[in-house]
Structures are given as C-alpha cells and as structure tokens.
C-alpha cells in the first residue's frame, strides 16, 4: 500500500466514511477499490490509481435518464438544442411528473428510496464536510421539482429547513413530510405561514427557518434561501469555494430605489388573501441609513442571520416593514447596506450591487432580454415566460453555466425536462469527477 502524505491523511478520514456508506448502499462492488477510497480520491480524482473505482461509483449515482445529447446541448450546439426544443413540444415525449402519492409510498422504505433516487449520502471532500451550508426552501406545489432540487443540493453535513405554505394541499404536505423523514438533516419548519404574494409572509417564512437553523447543533457557515423552482448551477464543492472566498461577506442585490419602488413603503398595506394599499401614510423607516431595493433571494453569513435576532435596531426595522409592499425586495437589500450589520457593504453608491453581480440567483427578465452585443444584459429566453421570468429551456444552459451564480430561477420539468435532466447530470458528473463532461 502507498504511504499516506500529511494532506492525504486528513482526506483518508473522510474517505473511510465515504467507503462505509457506499458499501452499505452497494454491497459487493468493492474489493481492490478500497485502497483508492482510503487515499481520499475525493480531494483529487485524477490521482486515483485505478480509474475503474471512480467509474464504478459514478455508474451507480449517474443521473442521466434520457438519450438527449447533453454534452452538445451544454456546449450550445444549435442542432442539439433545436432537437431538444422540438422534443419538449412533442406530446409523446411529455413525462408525467412523480405524484405526491408516489413519494408517500416510496419513502416507506427510506433506504430503498435513497438508493433508487441516487442521493449522495456522504461528503465528497474534507473541505465540504467542514463547511456546512444552511438552506431555507419555501414551497407550496410541484413536489417532483422540490425533490429533484433537494436531491441535487443534498449532502449530509448541510441543513435544510423546508417551509410549506399553509395553503398547500394536504397531499403535498404529506409528501414533503415523507421525504423529509428519510433524512436527519432535513426538517419542516415548526411555524408555517400563509404566504401571500408581495406580503410580509414571504419574509417571515425565511425568518422562521433562520431561527430554527440557528438552534441546530450544526455550526453552519452560510445561509441560502430558495423556492421550489430554483435549481443549482454549481456543485456543492463549487459553492463552498465561492462562499469561502466571500470571507464572511454577504452577497445580495442592493441598489438605490426608483421612485415607483419608494412608494412601496410610504403607505400602510392590508393583507387578506391578497395585499392592498391603504391611504394611511407610514412613518419614516426607523434607521439612520437609506432604504435600498433588491430581491428576495440572497447568500448571508451565519453572523448576519444571528444579528437579525439579537439587534433591537434590526427588530424594530423588521417590525416597521411588516405592512409594506413586497418587503422581501427591500428588507434584505437595506440590511445589506447598514454598516452595523455583519458582512454588509457601506451605503455609499460605489457599493451598489445588481442581481447579476451578486452570486445568489440568476434570473432572466423578459423586458431585459435581447442582443448582448447591443447592450442587453442577457440573451433571449429559449423556454417560456411566467410573470415576466424566463422558465429556462435547453438552449439557455450554455449561457447559464458560464455565469458565476450559485442558483438559477426558474426551471420546470413540465416546460423543458431535457434542460433539467442535462443540468442534473452535468452537476452529478462534475461533483464526482471534479470536471464537466463536455
């Protein structure tokens, strides 16, 4: 057996866990591969003496399930993209999504479910194991999309708080609980909100998860919030490296508000099954720094999240914002420019950050798409639009995977399942081999 170097010794500890978990999932497949597992192949897959070990591992966890030429699609090959587009339009190629009842039944045997759905049940590197990430995922429908999102971002060292809208169907609730019950680090938020579009409830849903995540014995490093139609465009290892580079800073959109957006916090709003503005004027924001606007999704340090609950100034500001319109689009952006809050930037205009500059989430808005050679921020959507947001098609993948963001929104298997499958397959291959399959 080769001698273990100092850095390999640390890797070997993680590899022992990996070997044990893999043997339990796939007994009878390891003999001479044990040495390579012990040498810590996850740190440098190119250093594996017997490539067949890595290949064997990948064969059992490969997520490609169709014949589409994903390599060509991701390279932006227009012939392959057009073929995928035509395929997505063909009724005969449409795949019925997995139902809530399917998940309730499948999770009765958690070990079989985890094996069949090919979850990664151990960290793929020591760096990842030592850098847990906390997630808040706010959902209300599309059970298969939620489960595929969870599968792609799942690792045992991370934490996942799932907030299910109180309006969600009973069958949806049951399925989410069934899926969560199979994982010790996935849980349903104990306090659930009736989420109303553009109201405070969207912010409160994340706050509920934040509070519970802080109570966990797992000392996670960063917090990321998601919705059910988000999907990662980076592997967990890539996310960890990006978050390490932030060095305690947050990453979120935060820009000076337009006149129309300023009106969102000038008046008191009432919430029933929708939000409506009253004629009652609000008091000025109880902060010494200006208001800023951004979006609901962000990457924040643990210190930032903890500060929200211990600072009287922040608690007062959050209370003031409860009756504003779409507070998720100005609360986080404003907090990000308060110098007393951990990981933030100064309010000076030189620190403006757009959604394209922040790493949290990549979105294409219909009214901003166009020819990038003529100053459009991004090319046209190749899928469809919903509420002015692009639901990505296969033709968007080449552009998406060149961006620095951690997640992209929106994907929907009922719009273009090929786009989703190619992205799933690409990320799984890259997670194991540490390089793309192109």
Q: pLDDT tens-digit profile of 343-387?
A: 999 999 999 999 999 999 999 999 999 999 999 999 999 999 999
Asked if residue 380 lies in contact with residue 56, where contact means CB atoms within 8 angstroms, the answer is no
Burial of 370-385, coded b for 16+ CB within 10 Å and e otherwise, reads eeeeeeeebbebbbee
| Euclidean distance between CA atoms 430 and 70, whole angstroms | 13
| Euclidean distance between CA atoms 332 and 299, whole angstroms | 10
- Catalytic center residues: 329
* Mean pLDDT, residues 302-330: 99
In whole numbers, what is the pLDDT of the chain averaged over residues?
91
Q: Tokens 């420019």: give the residue.
A: 337
The CA–CA distances, whole Å, from 256 to 179, 260, 265, 348 equal 41, 12, 14, 10
End-to-end distance of the chain based on CA atoms, in angstroms?
34
pLDDT of residue 56: 85
* Mean pLDDT, residues 115-136: 96
Asked if residue 29 lies in contact with residue 60, where contact means CB atoms within 8 angstroms, the answer is yes
| Euclidean distance between CA atoms 128 and 238, whole angstroms | 9
Of 412, 394, 420, residue with least CA distance to 65: 420
Instruction: List, edge to edge, every strand of the sheet that includes 361-363.
Output: 230-232, 407-409, 361-363
DSSP three-state, residue 287: coil
Please check the confidence at residue 16 and state whether its pLDDT lies above 70.
no
Of 101, 99, 103, residue with least CA distance to 114: 103
Please report which confidence band the pLDDT of residue 53 belongs to, taking 50, 70 and 90 as the band edges: confident
Strand 407-409 relative to strand 361-363: parallel, antiparallel, unpaired?
A: parallel
* Mean pLDDT, residues 298-307: 99
Element holding 136 (H helix, E strand): strand 133-139
Please report which confidence band the pLDDT of residue 38 belongs to, taking 50, 70 and 90 as the band edges: very low
User: Which CB contacts under 8 angstroms, 24+ apart, belong to 265-272?
Assistant: 265/291, 265/321, 265/324, 265/325, 265/327, 265/330, 268/323, 269/199, 269/323, 269/324, 269/325, 270/323, 271/196, 271/199, 271/200, 271/201, 272/196
| Euclidean distance between CA atoms 236 and 406, whole angstroms | 9
For residues 65 and 434, the model is more confident at 434
pLDDT of residue 89: 80
């Amino acid at each position: 057996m080769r001698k273990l170097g100092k850095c390999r010794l640390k890797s070997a500890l993680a590899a022992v866990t990996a070997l044990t978990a893999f043997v339990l999932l796939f007994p009878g497949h390891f003999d001479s591969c044990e040495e390579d597992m012990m040498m810590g192949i996850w740190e440098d897959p190119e250093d594996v003496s017997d490539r067949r070990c890595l290949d064997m591992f990948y064969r059992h966890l490969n997520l490609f399930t169709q014949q589409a030429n994903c390599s060509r699609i991701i390279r932006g090959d227009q012939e392959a993209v057009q073929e995928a587009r035509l395929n997505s339009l063909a009724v005969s190629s449409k795949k019925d999504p997995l139902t809530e009842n399917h998940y309730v039944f499948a999770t009765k045997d958690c070990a079989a479910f985890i094996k069949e759905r090919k979850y990664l049940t151990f960290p793929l590197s020591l760096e990842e194991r030592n850098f847990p990430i906390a997630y808040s995922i706010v959902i209300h429908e599309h059970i298969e999309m939620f489960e595929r999102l969870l599968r792609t971002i799942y690792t045992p060292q991370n934490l996942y708080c799932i907030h299910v809208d109180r309006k969600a169907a009973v069958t949806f609730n049951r399925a989410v609980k069934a899926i969560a019950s199979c994982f010790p680090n996935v849980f349903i938020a104990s306090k659930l909100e009736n989420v109303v579009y553009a109201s405070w409830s969207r912010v409160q849903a994340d706050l509920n998860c934040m509070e519970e995540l802080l109570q966990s014995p797992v000392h996670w490093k960063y917090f990321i919030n998601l919705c059910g139609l988000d999907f990662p465009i980076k592997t967990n290892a890539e996310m960890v490296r990006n978050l390490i580079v932030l060095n305690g800073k947050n990453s979120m959109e935060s820009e000076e508000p337009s006149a129309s957006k300023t009106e969102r916090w000038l008046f008191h709003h009432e919430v029933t099954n929708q939000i409506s503005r009253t004629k009652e004027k609000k008091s000025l924001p109880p902060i010494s720094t200006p208001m800023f606007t951004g979006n609901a999704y962000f990457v924040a340090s643990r210190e930032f999240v903890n500060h929200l609950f211990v600072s009287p100034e922040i608690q007062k500001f959050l209370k003031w914002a409860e009756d504003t319109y779409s507070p998720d689009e100005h609360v986080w952006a404003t907090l990000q420019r308060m110098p007393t809050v951990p990981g933030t930037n100064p309010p000076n205009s030189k620190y403006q950050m757009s959604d394209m500059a922040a790493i949290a989430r990549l979105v294409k808005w219909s009214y901003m798409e166009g020819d990038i050679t003529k100053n459009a921020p991004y090319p046209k959507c190749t899928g469809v639009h919903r509420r002015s947001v692009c639901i990505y098609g296969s033709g968007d993948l080449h552009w998406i995977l060149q961006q620095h963001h951690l997640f992209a929104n929106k994907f929907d298997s009922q719009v273009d399942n090929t786009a989703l499958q190619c992205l799933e397959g690409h990320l799984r291959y890259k997670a194991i081999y540490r390089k793309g399959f192109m």
